[in-house]
Amino acid sequence: MNPDDVELSNLDKPFFPDAGLSKGDVIAHYRKVADQMVPHLTGRPLTMRRYPDGIGGGGFFQKDASDHFPDWVRVEEVPQRQGGTIHHVVCDDAATLVYLANQATIEFHIWLSTMDALEHPDRLVIDIDPPQGVPVRVLRDVARRLASLYREVGLTPYVQATGGRGFHVAAPLDRSADYEETRELSLALADHVAARDPDLLTTAQRKNKRGDRIFLDVNRNAYGQTFVAPYTLRARPTAGVATPLTWDELSRTEPDGFTPARIARRRKKDPWQDMDDHAASVSKARKALAD
């Protein structure tokens, strides 16, 4: 399917009233970022977050592909951990991305593993989740501390602004490890950084144990879990875009600093493009961390 032949509807419907974006603007965003975004979606089970009446109307997550999706949209059977099957969309091309945007999918959330090795993640992600009011320079510093530790244990760190309030520090993996081993490594990395600054950072899930501390969320590193895909537009009033950054750009970028307009102006190759050339071993990283 040619992405420019996908039938579109209600292009003038307001979707982000504060940011002044219409449904057509959302679709145009995804059309423009497709070349950079699709490689990050390819082969991965996708969860859609759809807002048919804009972000002011109710939204919903959707895993099971709708029956009315056309047959050129790839749908794969994905087993659930405790029995059952989800018929996930796998977005391997620009036409599907545009089609799903016209279905009012604003956010795209993806697995950390691909269809050919569902049990073996090729990404490790630590999600930096601040409470309100933490200065961005502190968040950047936390991202850099994580990155430094990643490098020490042989992982290559990549950062993205989430489009919301925080950053993700991700690393490519060689898929030799399963989710359990990967999650354990991610927790050990986060705990290692948090232990050096226990008044600022925590890995505790429960809100009443966090206080005002920044939550280092490692729970994305599990089967059936997702993280927000690069170049996803967030369904928030500021219309931030999840944006892969160079480590240099991090110093001058807010978590929600990229809007669709600013992304369209940015003429930069995808900072995460060469990620898969740096896939690393979880077991080697675990051994390195133990020293």
Partner DNA sequence: GGAATAT
Partner DNA sequence: ATATTCCAACGCCTA
Partner DNA sequence: TAGGCG
Give the binding site for DNA (CB under 7 A).
9-10, 13, 23, 47, 50, 52-53, 58, 60-64, 66-68, 80-82, 86, 102-104, 127, 129, 179-180, 183, 204-209, 215, 217, 219, 222-226
Coil, helix or strand for 52? coil
Contact status: 127 vs Mn ion (CB under 5 A)? yes
Q: Where are the beta strands (DSSP E) in the chain?
A: 14-16, 21-22, 45-50, 60-62, 75-79, 85-90, 105-111, 123-129, 158-161, 167-172, 201-202, 214-217, 226-228, 243-245
Q: Least distance (Å) from Mn ion to the CB of residue 107? A: 12
Is there binding between residue 39 and Mn ion (CB under 5 A)? no
For residue 233, the 8-state DSSP code is: B
| Nearest-approach distance from CB 57 to DNA, in angstroms | 8
Q: How far is the CB of 128 from Mn ion (least distance, A)?
A: 7
Q: How many angstroms separate the first and last alpha carbons of the chain?
A: 52
The interface region with Mn ion, picked from 97-105, 127-135, 170-178, 248-256 by CB under 5 A, is: 127-135
Euclidean distance between CA atoms 63 and 74, whole angstroms: 13
141 binds, among Mn ion, DNA, none (CB under 5 to 8 A by kind): none
Q: CB nearer to DNA: give 20 or 70.
A: 70
- If phi over 0 gives left and psi between -120 and 50 gives alpha, with beta otherwise, what is residue 175? left
Q: Which does residue 4 bind out of DNA, Mn ion, none, counting CB within 5 to 8 angstroms by kind? A: none
x-marked contacts with Mn ion along 154-173 as a string, rule CB under 5 A = ------------x-------
| Nearest approach, Cβ of residue 241 and DNA (Å) | 18
* Residue 256 sits in the site that holds Mn ion (CB under 5 A): no
Site for Mn ion contains 129 (CB under 5 A): yes
Please, which residues have CB within 8 angstroms of residue 141's CB and are 6 or more apart in sequence? none
The whole-angstrom separation of Cα 141 and Cα 247 is 11
Q: How far is the CB of 222 from DNA (least distance, A)?
A: 4
Cβ atoms of 203 and 187 within 8 Å: the answer is yes
Asked if residue 181 binds Mn ion (CB under 5 A), the reply is no
Residue 62 DSSP class: E
Window contacting Mn ion (CB under 5 A); options: 47-55, 80-88, 118-126, 275-283: 47-55
Q: What DSSP element (H or E) covers 179?
A: helix 179-195
Nearest Cα to 104, choosing from 51, 57, 162, 37? 51
Q: CA–CA separation, 245 vs 252, rounded Å? A: 10
State the nearest-atom distance from the C-beta of 127 to Mn ion, in Å. 4
Q: Calculate ∠ Cα 215-221-222, nearest 5°.
A: 125
Closest separation between CB of residue 287 and Mn ion, Å? 29
Q: Which one of Mn ion, DNA, none interacts with residue 287, CB within 5 to 8 A by kind?
A: none
For DNA, give the closer residue by CB, 53 or 141: 53
Among Mn ion, DNA, none, the one that 64 touches (CB under a kind-dependent 5 to 8 A) is DNA
